[in-house]
Amino acid sequence: MDRSTIFAKVVTIVTPYSKNQSALKAINEQSHFFNDLEINSARLVDIVLALEDEFTISLDDELADKIQTLGDAINLIIERIGLPNAQVG
């Protein structure tokens, strides 16, 4: 699984939780969950749980707290699934 595949999966998970259509259209790894996508902390819990399911990983609260942007989520996923050659941005 490469980084772009992970990105696509994360976007699929995140999309239903954001009300900001213009931010979703321009979504990229720098997109900020709170500031850009307007996803509040309760919905972020749902997203973390969905990421755990999708990638079969565990993300405790301390790790989840590090997720500010989509890039953060992807880096964490890569770290947790132990991809050897995926670029960590």
Partner 1 sequence: MLRLGNDIVDLACGYAENKYSDKRFLFRVFTQKERQVIASSHDKTRIIWSLWSAKEAAFKACIKQFPDTFFSPQQFSVTERSLQQLIVGTTEKLVGTLDYFQHTFTIIWQWQMNYVHAVGILTTKTLAYDHIIHSSVFNINENCTNVQHLRCSFSSVELESIFSTESLQTRFYAKAFLYTLGYPEQIELIRRTKPHQHRKRLMYPQLSMGNVVLRNHEISLSHDAPWAAIAVMPPTPGINSLSGD
Q: Summarize as ranges the residues that interact with partner 1 (CB under 8 A).
A: 20, 32, 35-36, 38, 40-43, 45-46, 49, 61-62, 65-66, 68
Nearer to partner 1, 42 or 82 (CB): 42
Nearer to partner 1, 20 or 57 (CB): 20
Nearer to partner 1, 18 or 86 (CB): 18
C-alpha 39/C-alpha 73 separation (Å) is 14
Listed in sequence order, the DSSP H helices in 1-89 are 3-14, 21-25, 41-55, 61-64, 70-81
Cα(first)–Cα(last) distance of the chain, in Å? 16
